[in-house]
Amino acid sequence: MNKAIYVATTKENSGKSIITLGLMSMLIGKTAKVGYFRPIVEDFEEGKFDNHIETVITHLI
């Protein structure tokens, strides 16, 4: 049985982040463990954090 959900699209700015926040909020209420994975992306300035990861951490912790 697969225990993973992958959110992916072929276009940018399609709402993946808001869907991810909603799914994670729902799953946190139903299971003991929820994880978040985002591939390494190096398109932001050095010393800055990934905005998507920061958003998930801020809203779910």
Distance, CA of 9 to CA of 12 (rounded, Å): 8
Q: pLDDT tens, 3-48?
A: 888 888 889 889 888 898 999 889 888 888 888 888 776 666 777 7
Instruction: Decide: 24 and 31 in contact? Cβ < 8 Å.
Output: no
56: helix, coil or strand?
Answer: helix
Question: pTM, whole model, 2 decimals?
Answer: 0.69
